[in-house]
Amino acid sequence: MEMKRVEVIIREYESKKDSKEVEEVERRCEVGPNSKISLFTDLLGDPLCRIRHSPAFLMLVAEVVEEDEQGKIKTEIVGMIRGCIKTVTCGQKYSQLSKFTLYHTSSTLPVFTKLGYILGLRVSPSHRRMGIALKLVKKVEEWFSKNGAEYSYLATESENEPSISLFTHKCGYSKFRTPSILVQPVFEHRVKVSKRVNIFWVPPSDAEILYRRKFSTTEFFPRDIDSVLNNPLTLGTFVALPRGYGLGSWPGVKSFLSDPPESWAILSVWNCSEVWRLEVRGASRVGKGLAKTSRIMDWALPFLKIPSFPKVFRPFGLHFLYGLGGEGPKAVKFVKALCGFAHNLAQKKGCSVVATELANRDPLKVGVPHWKKLSCDEDLWCIKRLGDDYNDGNLGDWTKSPPGFSIFVDPREF
């Protein structure tokens, strides 16, 4: 029976009645490097899982309303978009203060802006090229502006030409930053951590002070870093210090800041596996068999340190490393030690991969172990200014600023 399309309605997601249809659209939009291999995201029954930990969030769906010749109405969800808002650092300014708090010791202070982030834009393949994606983007931007966001940004694959074309040609976004996503498999054997480095767990209150003191002027640093550090999904913040520094335990943030070692490094661990999981589908039996064989050999002969292929052909979890930073001539070495520690923590928790995202120019990048085939050299971030007014005139238009050596990737949006 011939159907006649009436209209496309963009409305807010309603969990009780929309969850099954949204999951079906997600399934249709599986992505991968070719038609056979696809990367499926299991949201564990919660389509809001990737945004609900943000300060403010919204999910919209695109619903197609059709009627047949007899006047019967049929509705179908064919697309969705997610958005969240937070306050982040977009630059720095000179401070006129003669005395500084425990949070700041340099002559520069962060310039903050309210920022909207778009993620999870999906349109069913059967309803593409109808302008639905554009309508979804415009609606979420309206919500950003209504709630005071000065900028909107998103991350997409640098090879995703349809997405890049939509945002840069039709929506007014510009290419902004190209950070690297680095992914390390979790092996069956434990990774050896240098005995010349001591790794300590840092209480969230100390971690907050340390992050604000050292990294608050880093691009995209979240103003509510305390909420991130105290979130149950943060498994902990860890600092690598030279062996022999202090008395063999975390000295406390005041002692550390007053008498820091020559070199040190820090990172925090976010447990993504508690909210969503991934699965690689479409691999051949031969490929799966070789991967399984490598893990069996690694398990049976751990002393050989065989780089076994991770368990990615069934739903798997990952840990995301955020807030990675450090100082001193041996900072890269200490970052490597922290990554080894994080690998062993992920192995204990049953995760298959450990991931992080750093600026391409970050000097600490070379200290992060990763597999090139699983990683992304250039994750493209696009940005758009939503208005002409700024909350701080010291910076001007952030979209035109040159990239720095580092960025802060919020784990709530990975």
pLDDT digits (tens, 9 = 90+) for 388-407: 765 555 567 899 999 989 99
Give residue-wise pLDDT tens across range 248-280: 789 999 999 999 999 999 999 999 999 999 988
H/E stretch holding 313: none
Residue spans of the domains in the chain: they are 3-175, 181-381+395-413
CA distances from 345 to 186, 190, 286, 351, 364 (A): 10, 9, 30, 9, 21
Judge residue 279's burial from the number of C-beta atoms within 10 Å of its C-beta, 0-12 exposed, 13-18 middle, 19 or more buried: middle
Write the pLDDT tens digit of every residue in 295-315. Answer: 999 889 888 888 899 989 999
Alpha carbons 75 and 63: distance in angstroms, whole number: 7
CATH number of the 3-175 domain? 3.40.630.30
* pLDDT tops 50 at residue 150: yes
Convert 74-120 into a string of H (helix), E (strand) and C (coil).
Answer: EEEEEEEEEEEEEEEEEEEEECCCCCCCCCCCCCEEEEEEEEEEEEE
Split at pLDDT 50, 70, 90, the class of 35 is: very low
pLDDT average, residue stretch 214-236: 97
pLDDT digits (tens, 9 = 90+) for 10-22: 999 999 899 999 9
Classify burial at 358, counting beta carbons within 10 Å of its beta carbon; exposed 0-12, middle 13-18, buried 19 or more. Answer: buried
Burial of 314 (0-12, 13-18, 19+ CB in 10 A): exposed
Kindly state the average pLDDT of the residues 345-363: 96
Q: Is the pLDDT of residue 223 over 80?
A: yes
Q: How far apart are CA 24 and CA 30, in angstroms?
A: 10
Distance CA 66, CA 71 (A): 9
Task: Say what the pLDDT of residue 78 is.
Answer: 94
pLDDT of residue 356: 98
